[in-house]
Structure 1
């Protein structure tokens, strides 16, 4: 019988601060997995595909927050190996289980008791001035095009499907997948996009323009950004907060849906809406309804007190 292989991705701080990583490795080995630990994933250069997991890898178990999952995504890019996240961070939007559910998660992984959620990935082509072919990269969450000089604005021209949409000076723009819509793009004022929607969004950051609203395009469309020749600053690009480089003036950036996807192992079947409400602790009761409930509770308490006083008087 062939050995089952799992990769545990974590970070050195978690590995050295307690026994949780050793516990997970021991439990995986107990249920029949050969385990490799990866705890120091240096960010590769922009446009360079780092080595991926071995072909016989069955699953990648991530111990950490969403940032650790983004690092693990580099290990499975262009493969069919799924990732399961066990949240050791704060929000953990991409994680499936919390830390206190470790044993249950490993048991179900061992029994193949999980489904696979395929997440859209964004593909980016960066064509430098005078280049014969573009540099290529990708992102699970977002691709940011920002100013290289932190004290100046970058002038960007924006196109959709080759049609000029706008141009403005700004701190930058974020092009986000649905998965990344709850991350940097959300903080910059972009909408939340459900993961099953095949779309990309572009969110300007502090744009000096009258019309600078988020744009959402379908899966067959392409965002194009150009660092204009009259820009006060060169540009700078970063994919998933990891792979980055400076963009000289005149650089063209094309972002579209990738043919590849990321496979997330899902154990709970909890709808995204439930996850959204729970992770963001959304106030599902509005302030008017809350005030009405308080007033009704005070009225009920007053009626109960009055009945109690009347009973004592008898």
Structure 2
């Protein structure tokens, strides 16, 4: 039985094209049939690759290998959402929090996929339902990282009301509200001052953006609860809902956005079983040794050198 891998990458970046050429050669030598999601790139690899792209889709693939940063992984997630096909990210970007491997480890990543030396981890998404005034049917969406309600123009704030399980919690003027998964807690929500949630925390995070309010703390709800964000009638501006920074919908004044944990998770292939703490320290370059401890160690080294110098002089 033929094993297939679908590759998703950023065709406009030379380093991504070079990494893809290497990945295609490695995978084919390992016995895989390779398909490319990008039609233009597929054509550069010849008619056979192009026909493979047309013939095979995501559902027929064993794994989707993503060569790029978190943005490319979020694009690939649109392909695998609702399927059982896992994503494997090879980081070509900056932080690459969603990626499992780095560019220099591409050969090893292919070897592990070929020998099935990986585990599949499920990550929760958020499901979004939007009710807009004058429309009888709601608009639905989803996000792996976050759904963000933000002001549609720069000059003034929007006025929103926040509710949990249809019970009002607070209302305020703000630049927006981030509604994040645990996976997305290290993205936009983190930049806005929200907490870091471990990926296995089954929760949804809400973080206000520049709220003009006495109570504007982040909120965390469980998997059976739901947020409601209303763009109030008194809001001087409409808003816009953006999912994962990629899919947007206008929110006129009077719109209501409901967000809860999604019923269908996304699947990621994991090669390394290191704790999330190690990933957090590595990606954010966290100072595991505090400045006080570092100062004490430096003082101890200076003292040791001084003693050594004195011994040399006496000798």
Q: Normalization by structure 1: what TM-score? A: 0.93
Counterpart check, 1:112 vs 2:116: yes
Moved over 6 A (4+): none
Contact 1:200/1:257 (8 A) holds in 2: yes
Counterpart check, 1:102 vs 2:106: yes
Structure with a larger share of its residues in helix: 2
Counterpart check, 1:171 vs 2:170: no
The corresponding residue for 2:47 is: none
Contact 2:58/2:85 (8 A) holds in 1: no
Count the aligned residue pairs: 300
1:286-305 → structure 2 map (5 Å cutoff): 286-305=290-309
Q: CA deviation at 1:38?
A: 2.0
Contact 2:10/2:17 (8 A) holds in 1: no
The corresponding residue for 2:91 is: 87
Gaps of 5+ in 1: 42-51
- For 1:147 and 1:40, how far apart are their aligned partners in 2? 36
SS of the residue 1:12 aligns to: coil
The corresponding residue for 1:34 is: 33
Contact 1:11/1:40 (8 A) holds in 2: no
User: What is the root-mean-square deviation in Å for CA atoms of aligned residues?
Assistant: 1.5
Q: 2:277 aligns with which of 273, 279, 290?
A: 273
CA separation of 1:29 and 1:72: change in aligned 2, threshold 3 A: same
- For 2:211 and 2:110, how far apart are their aligned partners in 1? 46
Q: 1:64 aligns with which of 64, 68, 85?
A: 68
Q: Normalization by structure 2: what TM-score? A: 0.92
Contact 1:53/1:75 (8 A) holds in 2: no
Gaps of 5+ in 2: 41-55
The corresponding residue for 1:237 is: 241
- For 1:278 and 1:84, how far apart are their aligned partners in 2? 19
- For 2:6 and 2:17, how far apart are their aligned partners in 1? 19
Q: CA deviation at 1:133?
A: 2.6
- For 2:185 and 2:57, how far apart are their aligned partners in 1? 27
Offset from partner CA, 1:31-50 (integer Å, 9 cap, x none): 12211112389xxxxxxxxx
The corresponding residue for 1:45 is: none
